[in-house]
């Protein structure tokens, strides 16, 4: 069972300030090397989409993943996926309201 949702509470004192996760569906994979659990978005990405920089390979104990690099490009049997860290709205809040609009308004006065 690797399907889950992003319900992780991000640590207090970090930039995220102890807030709960976003609740989006994710999948866990174990990193090579290190065997650490990494949350991945469920979306599939085209093989050539370099924004999704993690390669995932199926394994009978659960998927493994690694970072795709120039020296170690995507191999047969691997699929590109996006680390949830890169897309989580809790970790990546939307930008503040359009500052240029405010500046224009000020310059009109
Ligand atoms: Zn999240």
For the chain, the farthest-separated pair of C-alpha atoms sits apart, in whole angstroms, at 66
User: How far is CA 92 from its chain centroid?
Assistant: 10
Is pLDDT above 60 for 16? Answer: no
Residue 1, pLDDT score: 45
Rounded to the nearest whole angstrom, what is the distance from the C-alpha of residue 103 to the centroid of ligand 1?
33
pLDDT of residue 109 exceeding 60:
no
pLDDT band of 33, cuts 50, 70, 90: confident
pLDDT of residue 96: 74
For 38-96, how does the pLDDT look when each residue is reduced to its tens digit (9 = 90+)? Answer: 999 988 888 888 889 999 999 999 999 999 999 999 999 999 999 998 998 888 877 77
Q: Of 1, 50, 49, which Cα lies nearest the Cα of 25?
A: 1
pTM exceeds 0.85: no
Q: Distance, CA 70 to ligand 1 centroid (Å)? A: 28
**Which protein residues have a CB closer than 5 Å to ligand 1 (ion)?**
6, 21-22, 88
Annotate 13-76 with DSSP letters as a single string.
TSTT-S------EEEEEEETTT--EEEEES----TT-TTS-EEEE--TTS-EEEE--SSS---T
Over residues 33-42, the mean pLDDT reads 90
Phi, psi at residue 14, to the nearest 5°?
A: -80, 180
């Amino acid at each position: 069972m690797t399907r889950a949702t992003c319900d992780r509470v991000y640590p207090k004192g970090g930039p995220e300030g102890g807030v709960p996760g976003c609740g989006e569906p994710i999948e866990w994979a174990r990193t090579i090397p290190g065997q650490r659990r990494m949350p991945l978005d469920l979306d599939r990405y085209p093989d050539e989409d370099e924004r999704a920089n993690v390669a995932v390979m199926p394994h009978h104990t659960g998927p493994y993943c690694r970072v795709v690099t120039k020296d170690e490009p995507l191999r047969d049997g691997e699929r590109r996926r996006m680390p949830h860290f890169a897309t989580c709205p809790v970790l990546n809040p939307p930008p503040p309201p359009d500052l240029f609009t405010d500046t224009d308004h000020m310059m009109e006065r």
